[in-house]
Amino acid sequence: MATSTWDRVVGKWKQFKGEAQVRWGKLTDDELDQINGEREKLAGRIQERYGIAKEEANRQIDEWADRLKYD
């Protein structure tokens, strides 16, 4: 994923964290607040909660971010 795409996610994290909660329902509101748009933290929490490899967590994040509406 391009850095500029993730920069947009970070810039609108408060907007997108609800969509992240829908995508990864095992993540709590508090965890999403702590993540605050930081991709590495998000990947780490997804790995922990879902017991998946880092590569899979990053693939899921890329797929999710590519589907977001930035308008």
Q: Which CATH number do you get for residue 33? A: 1.10.1470.10
Please tell me the pTM assigned to this model.
0.89
What span, in angstroms and rounded, lies between the C-alpha atoms of 33 and 14? 8
Interhelix angle 54-67/39-50, nearest 10 degrees: 120
Domain around 57:
3-67
Contact assessment for residue 43 and residue 37, using Cβ atoms and an 8 Å cutoff: no
Q: What is the pLDDT of residues 2-40, one digit of tens each?
A: 667 788 899 999 999 999 999 999 999 999 999 999 999
Q: What is the pLDDT of residues 37-62, one digit of tens each?
A: 999 999 999 999 999 999 999 999 99
Contact assessment for residue 39 and residue 47, using Cβ atoms and an 8 Å cutoff: no
Amino acid at 29: D
What's the domain count of the chain? 1
